[in-house]
């Protein structure tokens, strides 16, 4: 049976949002549609509106102007928060503020418990995620006694425990060392296709793993294309406050030093 084209997982039309008492909107007339399963990187300098957008998409911030559809539902519909519970996961850059439980394993179990899953299923998910994120030694330790990088891994494990359909990761690798960052990026790449994934990152090289890059500048969406194409086109060291990956700058320098025809 033909069900017709799937609605996008996320649809924003002319989305505008201003914090109370702020002089200019944090987001201004932002429009995009993300198909289900797409891996999108969101880039932009400090204060360009990325985290604000992440919170709005996760239903944590409002009210906004314009239209937002999440998994086919109008987010402004009062019934949407209940209908979308557990289906949109957000992990953000300061993991301290999202820890609620007394031990790491209870932290991971928290979301699935709230979804009312059977205890054996929760146990299985917790064990699998503790192992996958190298957190087994800290299972019984308070989240507050973990290092920054360990906390970030725990925050990721906790959000994945809900098996969300949309996963928004806001600078989740910022506190990790190079090995930790590589491991987490491999894990993130491993999720490709199984979830609609948004990776907010200051590391432009990480954006290359994505299918698509949305680039924000002072609350406006200024570029929307494949990350390679975006960086290949960039002229200088930066594009709208985002560093162009070294490989692309070297390539351009090499091309620039070739004799012109």
Q: Which residues bind ligand ATP (CB under 6 A)?
A: 19, 22, 26, 44, 46-52
Q: Which does 44 bind (CB under 5 to 8 A by kind): Mg ion, ligand ATP, none?
A: ligand ATP
**Closest approach of ligand ATP to the CB of residue 60, in Å:** 11
d(CA 56, CA 62): 6
CA distances from 40 to 10, 11, 45, 56, 224 (A): 11, 13, 17, 17, 10
Nearer to Mg ion, 53 or 75 (CB): 53
Nearer to Mg ion, 42 or 122 (CB): 42
d(CA 245, CA 231): 7
**Closest approach of ligand ATP to the CB of residue 166, in Å:** 18
Q: Which does 22 bind (CB under 5 to 8 A by kind): ligand ATP, Mg ion, none?
A: ligand ATP
Nearer to Mg ion, 54 or 104 (CB): 54
Q: Which does 97 bind (CB under 5 to 8 A by kind): ligand ATP, Mg ion, none?
A: none
Q: Is 196 in the site for Mg ion (CB under 5 A)?
A: no
**Closest approach of ligand ATP to the CB of residue 175, in Å:** 13
d(CA 164, CA 84): 10
Nearer to Mg ion, 51 or 158 (CB): 51
Nearer to ligand ATP, 30 or 99 (CB): 30
CA distances from 51 to 46, 94, 232 (A): 10, 11, 26
Q: Which does 49 bind (CB under 5 to 8 A by kind): Mg ion, ligand ATP, none?
A: ligand ATP
Q: Which does 46 bind (CB under 5 to 8 A by kind): ligand ATP, Mg ion, none?
A: ligand ATP
**Closest approach of ligand ATP to the CB of residue 142, in Å:** 27
**Closest approach of ligand ATP to the CB of residue 25, in Å:** 9
Interface with Mg ion in residues 32-61 (CB under 5 A): 51
Q: Which does 164 bind (CB under 5 to 8 A by kind): Mg ion, ligand ATP, none?
A: none
d(CA 23, CA 235): 32
Interaction site with Mg ion (CB under 5 A) = 51
């Amino acid at each position: 049976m033909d069900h017709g084209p799937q609605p996008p997982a996320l649809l924003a039309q002319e989305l505008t949002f201003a914090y109370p008492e702020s002089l200019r909107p944090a987001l201004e007339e932002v429009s995009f549609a993300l198909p289900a399963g797409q891996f999108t990187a969101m880039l932009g300098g400090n204060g360009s509106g990325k985290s604000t957008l992440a919170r709005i998409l996760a239903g944590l911030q409002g009210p906004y102007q314009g239209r937002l559809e999440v998994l086919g539902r109008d987010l402004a519909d009062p019934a949407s928060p209940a209908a979308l519970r557990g289906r949109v996961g957000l992990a953000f850059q300061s993991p301290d503020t999202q820890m609620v439980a007394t031990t790491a394993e209870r932290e991971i179990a928290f979301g699935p418990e709230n979804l009312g899953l059977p205890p054996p299923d929760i146990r299985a998910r917790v064990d699998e995620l503790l192992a996958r994120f190298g957190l087994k030694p800290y299972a019984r330790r308070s989240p507050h006694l973990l290092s920054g990088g360990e906390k970030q891994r725990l925050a990721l494990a906790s959000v994945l425990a809900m098996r969300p359909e949309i996963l928004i990761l806001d600078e989740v690798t910022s506190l990790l060392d190079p090995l930790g960052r590589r491991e987490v990026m491999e894990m993130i790449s491993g999720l490709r296709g199984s979830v609609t994934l948004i990776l907010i990152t200051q590391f432009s090289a990480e954006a290359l793993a994505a299918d698509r890059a949305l680039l924000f500048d002072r609350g406006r969406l200024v570029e929307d294309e494949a990350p390679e194409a975006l960086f290949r086109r960039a002229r200088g060291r930066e594009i709208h406050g985002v560093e162009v990956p070294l490989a692309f700058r070297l390539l351009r320098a090499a091309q620039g030093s070739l004799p012109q025809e």
